[in-house]
Amino acid sequence: MSVLTYALLLATLGGITIPIGGLLGTVRQIGPNWLDREFRHSVIAFGGGALLSAVSLVLVPEGMMRLDVVTALIAFGAGGVLFFLLDRLLERKGGSGAQLMAMLLDFLPESLALGALLAADEPAGLLLAFLIAVQNLPEGFNAYREIVRSSKLGRGLILLAFCALVLLGPAAAFVGFTVLGDMREVLAAIMLFASGGIFYLTFQDIAPQAQLERHWAPPLGAVAGFMLGLGGHMMVAG
């Protein structure tokens, strides 16, 4: 198997948990209101914690290493502003896509990085693909439940669209492998741009949805999500 084929396979495996998470989101009820209350809020918080770990441990540090201060701040701020504008546009249209945007903001730059790392013969590709897959599972669950609540799309059509999203992973990995392997500054700017968008969506949409009075599982879920990223980062660094 060539290195490029290996990168495409890993990116595909990393994205396949998106429709799996969506499929889990089709389960209607487990116990009286438990699935729609504490469990859903806990999964949202877990996904938020995983996103923050990706930003603070992978995307921002990698971006900071290869860009000057001004360029890094512009890229980060531009991401936040753009996704503020997209969020306002979705709100005016009566829909909500914060979970879906957050998932793609995480999935695409990490798949780009996966391809670029393997092109540079870095040993962390397999673990990075595993972390992408684990992050996409709760994010796919959350995005599916959010779209079902805020749109009139059929459940089958949503799951089919989620299956199509899997293809974005190998496409991004291909670009990272063939183009960005020697363009680390561009890749760093993309990572910081995505980080700004993730920060905006986390504090505007995801964190408020996770809060639930008189229940403590959601904040613990956020801690667990960050722990997942922290453990993976330390394993890669070690």
Q: How many domains does the chain have?
A: 1
Q: What is the mean pLDDT of residues 153-181?
A: 90
Q: Which residue has the tokens 């960050």?
A: 226
Both tokens assigned to 98: 């914060």
- Kindly state the percentage of the chain with pLDDT values over 90: 17
What pLDDT was estimated at residue 5?
Answer: 92
What pLDDT was estimated at residue 34?
Answer: 45
* pLDDT higher than 90, residue 173: yes
Contacts of 54 (CB under 8 A, 6+ apart): 106, 110, 131, 135, 198, 229
Buried b (16+ CB within 10 A) or exposed e, 118-128: bbeeeebbeeb
What pLDDT was estimated at residue 217?
Answer: 59
**pTM as predicted:** 0.71
Q: Return the higher-pLDDT residue of 59 and 72.
A: 72
The stretches of 120-216 forming alpha helices (DSSP H) are 125-150, 155-165, 168-178, 184-201, 207-210
Quickly count helices (H) and strands (E) in the chain: 12, 0
**Closest C-alpha to 128, from 186, 23, 54:** 54
19 — pLDDT class (breaks 50, 70, 90): very high
* pLDDT higher than 70, residue 233: no
- Domain span at 54: 3-237
* pLDDT higher than 90, residue 8: yes
Q: Return the higher-pLDDT residue of 51 and 123.
A: 51
What pLDDT was estimated at residue 31?
Answer: 44
What pLDDT was estimated at residue 207?
Answer: 57
Q: Return the higher-pLDDT residue of 4 and 222.
A: 4
Tens digit of each residue's pLDDT (9 = 90 or more) over 113-158: 888 878 877 655 676 777 788 778 877 887 888 888 777 778 889 8
Q: What is the mean pLDDT of the chain?
A: 77
32 — pLDDT class (breaks 50, 70, 90): very low
Q: What is the mean pLDDT of residues 2-10?
A: 90
